[in-house]
């Protein structure tokens, strides 16, 4: 297992249940392949918050090499704690417990899936795209039950693999439209809400986040297959034309300040910005002061949205100073307008006591 990975490589995994992510947002899984005949390949899972005793935890991994046909082996699962204050020493909270893996059955020749892919998108970098897959299974394919999987595999650069937003993608075949997104493997696992027996099918995948870079007009290949009793039963590929173009940058200005004289303190700065492109509801707008200013913490600055902008963004949105020279505008669950300006104020600034006409502030939007 893991022979095609470098030690410490992050692999595709998903916390199915039992995890909370108030701190990081998703689990991270790193693999350390075996280095001798007496050592085990190891996967270390991190990034989750504290897990209460008795919690049932489920993790799924994708793109791991399976055992050879008819081979049985053992896997160990344990929980360790790293003591960073003591040079990274580790100690087990739960000693590793062995359980049997395998044996996998011999592979069979899969049936053919014939299908097409259509895309509904603005084709901008970092915006959501919807896909529809429709086609037929070859006669004689095995029914896909609610315990089996339909898997869609995209090229690795089509959608963003590390962002938490993709975990909210919706798949029409699944119960409550929930599907498992393995971003690093560019794979989507769909467990049907009802057994699939008909040869004809049509399904949608909604809210996949476009990659964060431009893509030229190219035919892309999508792979579709079924996993019945953990074995590939039917498989097919289809092509579609994909491109993405750069989003527009945020526009921003300082509309006014209370004083233009160097050394004056207790000054309010008034800002205006407009997104001009899509920002997901979990996104943020960040403003950076030049480091020629006093720390925003030192001068006890605070920031707030102007009343009309607060009304436009909603009562849940807020502005917060998070670093010496950085503040963030947090939509906090809503989508900000792309076409209307927002205004905010930063208080209690001390003006630098020299010419700052060539000094620039910076602003950016981002998401996780």
Lowest mean pLDDT: which of 131-145, 233-247, 311-325? 233-247
Distance CA(184)–CA(350), nearest Å, equals 46
Sign of CA dihedral 266, 267, 272, 277: negative
The per-residue pLDDT for range 155-165, each reduced to its tens digit, is: 877 776 655 55
Decide if 62 contacts 189 (C-beta within 8 A).
Answer: yes
| Contacts of 23 by beta carbon, 8 Å cutoff, 6+ apart | 47, 49
Q: Please report which confidence band the pLDDT of residue 38 belongs to, taking 50, 70 and 90 as the band edges.
A: low
Pairing mode, if any, of strands 42-46 and 73-83? unpaired
Beta-ladder partners of 97: 77
In this predicted structure, what is the pLDDT of residue 1? 54
In this predicted structure, what is the pLDDT of residue 217? 78
Q: Please report which confidence band the pLDDT of residue 320 belongs to, taking 50, 70 and 90 as the band edges.
A: very high
The per-residue pLDDT for range 163-184, each reduced to its tens digit, is: 555 666 889 988 888 888 887 7
Dihedral through CA 36, CA 38, CA 41, CA 46, nearest 10? -120
Q: Please report which confidence band the pLDDT of residue 209 belongs to, taking 50, 70 and 90 as the band edges.
A: confident
In this predicted structure, what is the pLDDT of residue 104? 63
Q: Regarding predicted confidence, which is higher, 43 or 245?
A: 43
Sign of CA dihedral 222, 148, 183, 134: positive
All domains of the chain, ordered by start, with CATH?
9-101 (no CATH), 111-244 (2.60.40.3490), 251-366 (2.60.40.2230)
Q: Please report which confidence band the pLDDT of residue 352 belongs to, taking 50, 70 and 90 as the band edges.
A: very high
The per-residue pLDDT for range 54-68, each reduced to its tens digit, is: 888 888 888 776 666
């Amino acid at each position: 297992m893991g022979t095609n990975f470098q030690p410490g490589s992050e692999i595709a995994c998903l916390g199915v249940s039992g995890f909370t992510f108030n701190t990081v947002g998703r689990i991270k899984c790193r693999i350390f392949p075996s280095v001798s005949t007496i050592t085990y390949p190891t996967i270390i899972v991190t990034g989750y918050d504290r897990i209460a005793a008795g919690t049932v935890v489920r993790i799924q991994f994708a793109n791991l090499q399976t055992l050879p046909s008819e081979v049985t082996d053992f896997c160990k699962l344990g929980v360790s704690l790293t003591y960073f204050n003591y040079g990274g020493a580790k100690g087990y909270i739960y000693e590793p417990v062995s359980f049997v893996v395998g044996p996998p059955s011999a592979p069979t020749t899969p049936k053919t899936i014939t299908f097409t892919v259509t895309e509904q998108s603005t084709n901008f970098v970092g915006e959501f795209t919807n896909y529809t897959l429709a086609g037929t299974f070859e006669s004689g394919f095995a029914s896909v039950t609610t315990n089996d999987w339909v898997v869609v595999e995209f090229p690795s650069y089509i959608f963003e693999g590390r962002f938490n937003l993709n975990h909210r993608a919706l798949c029409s075949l699944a119960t409550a439209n929930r599907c498992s997104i393995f971003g690093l493997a560019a794979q989507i696992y769909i467990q049907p809400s009802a057994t699939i027996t008909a040869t004809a099918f049509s399904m949608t995948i909604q809210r996949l986040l476009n990659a964060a870079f431009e893509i030229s007009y190219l035919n892309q290949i999508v792979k579709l297959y079924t996993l019945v009793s953990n074995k590939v039963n039917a498989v097919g590929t289809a092509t579609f034309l994909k491109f993405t173009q750069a989003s527009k940058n945020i526009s921003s200005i300082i509309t006014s300040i209370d004083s233009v004289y160097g050394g004056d303190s207790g000054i309010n700065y008034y800002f205006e910005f407009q997104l001009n492109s899509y920002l997901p509801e979990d996104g943020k707008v960040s403003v950076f002061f030049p480091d020629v200013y006093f720390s925003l913490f030192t001068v006890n600055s605070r920031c707030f949205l102007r009343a009309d902008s607060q009304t436009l963004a909603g009562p849940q949105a807020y502005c917060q100073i998070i670093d010496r020279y950085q503040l963030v505008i947090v939509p906090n669950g809503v989508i900000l307008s792309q076409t209307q300006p927002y205004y905010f104020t930063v208080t209690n600034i001390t003006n630098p006591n020299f010419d700052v006409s060539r000094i620039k502030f910076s602003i950016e939007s981002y998401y996780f």
